[in-house]
Amino acid sequence: MAPIRRLTRILLPAVLLTLTLYTLANLNSPFTLLPPWTTTSTPSKHPIDQLLRSADADFSALLAKQTTTLASAAAAYRKRRGRHPPPGFDQWYAFAAERNVVMVEDFWDPIYHDLEPFWGEDPAVIRGRVRDVDMRIVVRDGKAETGSDWFWTQIWLEMIRGVEKFLPDMEIALNAMDEPRVVVPWEEVEGYVKKAGKGRRVVEREKVVGEFGRREEWTYMAEGTGAVWEHEKHYWLIARRGCPPNSAARKAPVVTDFNQTPFIASSFDLAHMRGGYVANFTLSTSFCHQPDLQALQGIFVEPLSVSATASLVPIFGGSKLGVNNDILLPAPMYWNEEDRFTGAEGAGIPWADKTRSPAAVWRGVATGGRNREENWRSFQRHRFVAMNNASQLHLAEMGEPPVNFALTDPRYRLSATSKPGSLPRWLASTTDIAFTDLMCAHPDSGTSCNYTSPFFTPTDAIPMAQQFRHRILPDMDGNSFSGRYLGFLRSTSLPVKATLWREWHDARLVAWKHFVPMDSRFGDWYGILEYFAGNEELGVEGHDEAAERIAMDGREWAAKVLRREDMQVYVLRVLLEYARVVDERRDVMGWVGDLV
């Protein structure tokens, strides 16, 4: 009985706190959250069953929007965007059709999300602001060039050269850093978007200008408007101004002391979770309703570098947070298909040939930002690795509070928590999760690190191709988005994805259909693992077929919509739109070739 009493002693305060938070945050919630003592009642359907079913329906609905002709694609464009397609749309369509692109207008939603505020700013001002950024690609007479030899710029240059002959003259500013750059205050973005909305219309065909303006006509309102670059290391202070004024992120007290166990307030996840699992993935990647993430994600605590602006500067980059106004392009490492990120030669290993145990593997570097003795407990990768460490869970069960994670949340009704000692044993046999490098703030300390070595041991890397011998591949953010995600999607293994980062492909992937979404606190991880991998010791069957189906559906879909061709078609579309939004006559410009 003693261990059970000990467990109760640990869990009871957590239960009470959690229930209080539920009550506070959830007075009108439609979700039923059963307290843990009802677990012995009749087994109900698992919440994941329902999420899998709705994902199938969501995906079918998306596919049903597919168009197959230029005219129907243009009609779908006008319906969704409220404007004519940009000049050059027919060439874009032909380029896409030649590459067998799946044509669903929604797939390009990120472009419109990113560019809409710019419709509320003067084109001459936008053109001027490009010059506030050093790293640029310039297109002149159908040729793309750059003066920068930074390897990312070179990769983007190659990507753009594949479509350069369709492009009007333009200047493209690029982000040289991992971290995104632009956070215009929410109130100002609202102003821009309102102004954009007023000008948005489908102009009468006769009034439409079908050509881009000529470079000679361009003016620059201020040659570089002197955007101010901020270097505040506590990025939360910058990021949260992108949230609405009445949002939790703007109102919550700012955490400044990261030298303690972070507060993991799961009630903030209720808006995007159902039955304890992510039901709205897009919302889960937005932090404005999740103020506790300020102490649970390295980017907010201390990124490697910060150079941010509050001005609406058009900077293109590979990933960004929901609040950033950067413009997305496919990330260079996706375009490059480096083997260390794709593990291509192992990606096709049949499900049945994968090892049974351990089901889940993860290897990575202790990134997330600049980890230090006073802040590492707030870093996401450290949290994930620690909560998969059997000996740390064993200590927690024995009554020693974990230093950087929370014990299991009662809403998951895990089998492994029903029996003392079971959770650590189950994790030890089901997962193999470790750092390969502690990224210590004292680099001369070799592979060890005086503040994190007591909790983590750097372990040999597992090449991507070999990771695919395991069924479940969790994936979480590093300094920014995780570059291996595309490789995971293209493989026969099941990606379990937690992220706050937005990428070019977001609108073409369906959570629970092509990947399994995970909350950024990782409180749902054990539940996800038990659902798919089961618990042999306790006789809990996993859902191996469901896991295989998502892995295969994701792989098949990635082979259709996440190819390099799809990246190029995206690049051409976003650059045509960008060229229009910086053009003086943008309000009347468009392609109307189908309306004759």
Ligand X SMILES: *[C@@H]1O[C@H](CO)[C@@H](O)[C@H](O)[C@H]1NC(C)=O
Query: Minimal distance in Å, beta carbon 568 to ligand X?
Result: 29
Binding of ligand X by 260 (CB under 6 A): no
Binding of ligand X by 335 (CB under 6 A): no
CA–CA distance, 297 with 299 (Å, rounded to integer): 6
Residue 66 near residue 103, CB atoms below 8 Å: yes
Retrieve residue 326's tokens: 């950067």
Listed in sequence order, the residues at least 6 apart from 255 whose beta carbon sits closer than 8 Å to its beta carbon are: 236, 262, 294, 295
Binding of ligand X by 29 (CB under 6 A): no
**What mask, x for binding ligand X by CB under 6 A, covers residues 389 to 428?**
x-xx--x---------------------------------
Stretch that binds ligand X, among 275-283, 343-351, 512-520, 543-551 (CB under 6 A): 275-283
Binding of ligand X by 442 (CB under 6 A): yes
Of all residues in the shown chain, the one whose CB is closest to ligand X is 457
Based on CB atoms, which residue is closest to ligand X, 175 or 324?
A: 324
Binding of ligand X by 284 (CB under 6 A): no
Query: Minimal distance in Å, beta carbon 588 to ligand X?
Result: 31
CA–CA distance, 390 with 423 (Å, rounded to integer): 8
Stretch that binds ligand X, among 82-90, 104-112, 147-155, 453-461 (CB under 6 A): 453-461
Query: Minimal distance in Å, beta carbon 391 to ligand X?
Result: 4
Neighbours of 194 (CB within 10 A): 10
- For residue 183, list its beta bridge partners: none
CA–CA distance, 482 with 488 (Å, rounded to integer): 10
Query: Minimal distance in Å, beta carbon 271 to ligand X?
Result: 8
Binding of ligand X by 282 (CB under 6 A): yes
CA–CA distance, 98 with 293 (Å, rounded to integer): 44
Binding of ligand X by 436 (CB under 6 A): no
Upstream peptide bond of 402 is cis (omega within 30 degrees of 0): no
Based on CB atoms, which residue is closest to ligand X, 92 or 456?
A: 456
Neighbours of 181 (CB within 10 A): 23
Query: Minimal distance in Å, beta carbon 470 to ligand X?
Result: 16
Q: Give the one residue of 160, 403, 434, 528 binding ligand X; rule: CB under 6 A.
A: 434
Q: Give the one residue of 258, 287, 455, 532 binding ligand X; rule: CB under 6 A.
A: 455
Q: Give the one residue of 459, 546, 588, 593 binding ligand X; rule: CB under 6 A.
A: 459
Upstream peptide bond of 330 is cis (omega within 30 degrees of 0): no
Stretch that binds ligand X, among 34-42, 85-93, 259-267, 452-460 (CB under 6 A): 452-460
Question: How would DSSP label each residue in 29-93?
Answer: -S-----GGGTTS-----HHHHHHHHHHHHHHHHHTT---SHHHHHHHHHHHHSSPPPTTHHHHH
Mapped onto helix, strand or coil, the DSSP state of residue 538 is: coil
Retrieve residue 467's tokens: 């990771």
Q: What residues make contact with ligand X under the rule CB under 6 A?
A: 280, 282-283, 286, 373, 389, 391-392, 395, 434, 442, 450-451, 455-457, 459
